Amino acid sequence: MREIFELINSMAPYLLLGFLLAGIMHAFIPGNLYHRYLGGNSFRSVFNAALLGIPLPLCSCGVIPTAMSLRKEGASRGATVSFLIATPQTGIDSIIATYSLMGLPFALLRPLIALATSLIGGLLVNRFDRKDIRQDKLSTHQQAEAPSSPGGFLQSVKSALHYAFVEMMQDIGKWLVLGLVVAGLITVFVPNSFFALFADKPLLSMLLVLAFAIPMYLCATGSIPIAVALMLKGLSPGTALVLLMAGPAVNVASLLVISKVMGRKTLLLYITTIIACAIIFGLGIDYLLPREWFTAPLQHIQNAHDCGISYFNLGCFILLTLLLANAFLQRYRGKNTCGCHHHDCECEAQKSQQTILEIKGMTCNHCKNNVEKSILRVAGVESVETDLTTGRAVITGEADVAEIKKAVESIGFEVTASSCM
């Protein structure tokens, strides 16, 4: 517990700042900016997708429906893959958190390597997977969806704070906590002698980390304490980079969706790019850059128990804990979309012309928002409310159920059941 507390205490101020900046980006940067410059089978579209995706605070599960939505609205295959690679590896919150625990060199290299990897992946897809390169134009309805702020500046501030300290914490909070717990367990239970076997074999250690990282789900921020714990046990900085790249960008859920929506060839290019670039850049760090650049910032963690308590950090730790508890409470308090506490509630029965879908695969608020947007674009839909806890979408209107299912499945989700009322 002590190791976990020291990690969280060190990261708390930076995590709060990162969450806040993510909320500001969400509230004040127009959403259609991420949809406008990604069309065309060109280097420019791939570069734009990577550049826009790097600071965007989306986790691996959240980036999938967002990327599928971009693809549906006209982004090229290459641009979509570039966005898929760059976005989950970084984010304004994870960059700041990386600096807090791993120092400036890692904080600078991480987004630069994500940019290079996403460019390589996007260009490879444009070169070798050229089917269906026709770009669909945005419909009139989609073009009219530029975000608005009816409440003005104060409403935008409120939206930023809610997104930062409720929605984002709901989305990545549990993965962050899990990452911290895993890091603590590694620090306590894994003997130094185990990793000493791989200290002079960086390539072998990278392959070992890849074998564990690829099937797991790790968010960009949650992977940081695990990478730190591995380095404290003696693994190389390059091996830590492999975990930071492959963990957030590749997991079983994302691979299944990419295969289903974009095809096996795109999936193969996606996986190959991430694995090859992770190993190449990792070996580059180990053999071309001074090891002290990456190990020196870890000394404050090793010596943390010898230092006095920072009351500022402790206050941030308490605030972060309270905000996470509030976010989890709001998400898992057991309400369904209409606000009732039981499944077959009377208020649903009183509504007319409703369709209720059971949607599989929604794991965060980005998933929820993308599902709602896709359903609202179907002709005849008047309103839709979704609930992450139950996976239910309550749709009001006279829309064709088959069209609704098609819209949901086109962004990578599965409709498992439905009922009309």
What is the per-residue pLDDT across 10-49, written as a single tens digit (0 to 9) for each?
A: 778 877 887 887 788 778 877 666 566 776 678 988 999 9
| Structural domain boundaries enclosing 396 | 346-420
| Average pLDDT score, the chain | 79
> Has residue 230 been placed in a domain?
yes
* CB-based contacts of 141, cutoff 8 Å, min separation 6: 377
Q: Are residues 312 and 351 in the same domain?
A: no
> pLDDT band for position 140 (50/70/90)?
very low
Q: Are residues 138 and 281 in the same domain?
A: yes
In this prediction, what percent of the chain has a pLDDT beyond 70? 79
More confident residue, 235 or 67: 235
Q: Are residues 140 and 261 in the same domain?
A: yes
pLDDT of residue 187: 67
Q: Average the pLDDT over 202-206 and give the result.
A: 89
More confident residue, 140 or 209: 209
Q: Average the pLDDT over 276-283 and give the result.
A: 95
Q: Are residues 217 and 363 in the same domain?
A: no
Measure the CA–CA gap between 101 and 91, rounded to whole angstroms: 16
208 neighbors 198 (Cβ within 8 angstroms): yes
pLDDT of residue 259: 80
Q: Are residues 402 and 304 in the same domain?
A: no
Q: Are residues 370 and 292 in the same domain?
A: no
Q: Are residues 165 and 212 in the same domain?
A: yes
Residue 390's CATH number: 3.30.70.100
Q: Are residues 247 and 188 in the same domain?
A: yes
> Has residue 339 been placed in a domain?
no
Q: Are residues 181 and 276 in the same domain?
A: yes
Q: Average the pLDDT over 119-130 and give the result.
A: 88
More confident residue, 18 or 324: 324
pLDDT of residue 85: 92
> Has residue 64 been placed in a domain?
yes
> Has residue 288 been placed in a domain?
yes
Least trusted range by pLDDT, from 10-19, 319-328, 330-339, 389-398:
330-339
> pLDDT band for position 105 (50/70/90)?
very high
> pLDDT band for position 136 (50/70/90)?
very low
Q: Are residues 224 and 278 in the same domain?
A: yes
Least trusted range by pLDDT, from 93-107, 265-279, 302-316, 327-341:
327-341
Q: Average the pLDDT over 337-359 and give the result.
A: 59
Q: Average the pLDDT over 243-268 and give the result.
A: 81
Q: Domain boundary residue among 284, 319, 354?
A: 319
The alpha carbon torsion through 38, 270, 274, 34 (nearest 10 deg) reads 20
pLDDT at 263 exceeding the cut of 60:
yes
> Has residue 244 been placed in a domain?
yes
> Has residue 337 been placed in a domain?
no
> Has residue 341 been placed in a domain?
no
pLDDT of residue 349: 42
Judged on CB neighbours under 10 Å (0-12, 13-18, 19+), 106 is: buried
DSSP 15-80: HHHHHHHHHHHHHHS-TTHHHHS--SSSHHHHHHHHHHHTT----HHHHHHHHHHHHHTT--HHHH
pLDDT at 138 exceeding the cut of 50:
no
pLDDT of residue 107: 93
> pLDDT band for position 346 (50/70/90)?
very low
Q: Are residues 184 and 256 in the same domain?
A: yes
pLDDT at 2 exceeding the cut of 70:
no
Half-sphere exposure of 401 (CA within 13 A, CB side): 15
Give the model confidence (pLDDT) of 172-183 as tens digits.
777 778 777 776
pLDDT of residue 304: 54
pLDDT at 139 exceeding the cut of 80:
no
pLDDT at 285 exceeding the cut of 90:
yes
More confident residue, 343 or 283: 283
Q: Are residues 241 and 371 in the same domain?
A: no
Measure the CA–CA gap between 203 and 209, rounded to whole angstroms: 10
Q: How many domains, in total, are found in the chain? A: 2
pTM of structure: 0.70
> Has residue 26 been placed in a domain?
yes
